[in-house]
Chains A and B, each alone.
Chain A
């Protein structure tokens, strides 16, 4: 029976997102040039929530996209084909500040693939990274700009982020095998 510990509950997740949104607003003053892109799948609902909070802070809508990185992964060899989700970026990212959003930052390969994929859509002015959980164990020189919670983990553990549409019952769980 795997042992699981709740790391963040719904209220804590919401507080972390509000803080990240304020940090983004503080760092990126040119609010009209900022877009949020959630990485499929876990990053997409988080990017939606960040967009809502930021729209409230800035009192204007923040463009929102979603990106699937399966076709750009460096580990397609020797593994099953990943389940490809839609990529929807309904705006030009050239000269924008793109904030990539993901749920868990682990080895960094997803983020590398995401930056590679973004190249095909334009040349952003800068790319920043927002994650709910940074669990360490990076294999690439990648660092998040905005972090909800730093969570030291072992390689064998897994982190699950559970988000519901309504926002009730959200939690982040650390599972030990």
Chain B
């Protein structure tokens, strides 16, 4: 299909065909990462600003390396060391960056909708690297890429997302992406962290972890987001671990070919037993590798979303 988008703001507005185009394109970029020379000139002469207003390590590093492997020039911008601290608005910061003739802005922000706002006020392509508790589209795309690579397809799979759903932008993006491609999504976790509203997104909600994971093809574990959490949501991490943690005993009662996923950073001993994180069913590190390929594919596609269709 023909890719016409200039921005990647969320999964909600993507069509299933667009999602599959990203996944197909990412396959070619994964192969680039396996070569002796891991760099291609596709974004030579382009400038990418990584505007991380909310702290991030793994997503920022993944984006930076993806940009470098596409030969782009990079400016890294963090909130702590910027004029945002001096009272400049996001719009002014972005327009200043644009005045430097930047082509892409990758934004991570604690406010939901910040990337959508930027896309309206500037001309550069905007990529959402996580906005508040709203969406984290590249994480969902790399999750789907990993599932498709291991399972062959997404359609018809039982995917259980276990943990803090309420505060998780990963969960929202995953739910949109998985349901668009025909997976059956089950959500499980403390009832205070799974509003019933999520059933309207086409998910099944259960508070019984054994039942949630019994028939799962994929178990996607989410970290408890201490930083967004209010104390009243559940009593303690110890209790969370006892009631919802993925333990060896619980894993023994699942399908033998179940895949364990986690967007990281993992809290060993809380949502996942240490040995499970390192076992053969865990694809947590593959997700990290695939994240590079998916982000390269997104940048490559958005770069082409600007002009008319060329010829041969």
Binding site for B on A (CB under 8 A): 68, 70-72, 75-82, 84-88, 106-107, 110, 116-117, 119-121
Contact = CB atoms under 8 A, between A and B. Distances in A.
A contact face: mostly helix, strand, loop, or mixed: loop
A61 B24 CA distance: 31
B87 interface: no
B280 interface: no
Contacts of A120: 35-37, 39-40
Contact of B25 (A77, A78, A79, A84): A84
Interface in B111-140: none
B3 A81 contact: yes
B41 A116 contact: yes
Nearest to A75: B310
Given A71-B41, A79-B310, A120-B37, A85 B28 contact: yes
B35 A121 contact: yes
Contacts, number: 72
B contact face: mostly helix, strand, loop, or mixed: loop
A13 to B, nearest CB: 20
A71 B306 contact: no
Interface string B296-312: 01001111111111101
22 contacts: A70-B28, A70-B42, A71-B42, A71-B70, A71-B300, A76-B303, A78-B306, A78-B307, A79-B304, A79-B309, A80-B305, A80-B310, A81-B303, A84-B29, A85-B28, A86-B27, A86-B31, A87-B28, A117-B40, A120-B39, A120-B40, A121-B35
A106 B302 CA distance: 27
Given A78-B310, A79-B308, 19 more contacts: A70-B28, A71-B28, A71-B70, A72-B40, A76-B304, A78-B307, A79-B307, A79-B310, A80-B4, A84-B25, A84-B300, A86-B28, A86-B31, A87-B28, A87-B31, A88-B31, A107-B312, A120-B36, A120-B37
A107 B312 CA distance: 9
B2 interface: yes
A85 B31 CA distance: 11
What interface size band does chain B fall in?
20 to 34
Interface of B: 2-4, 24-25, 27-29, 31-32, 35-37, 39-42, 70, 297, 300-310, 312
A87 B71 CA distance: 19
A121 B32 CA distance: 10
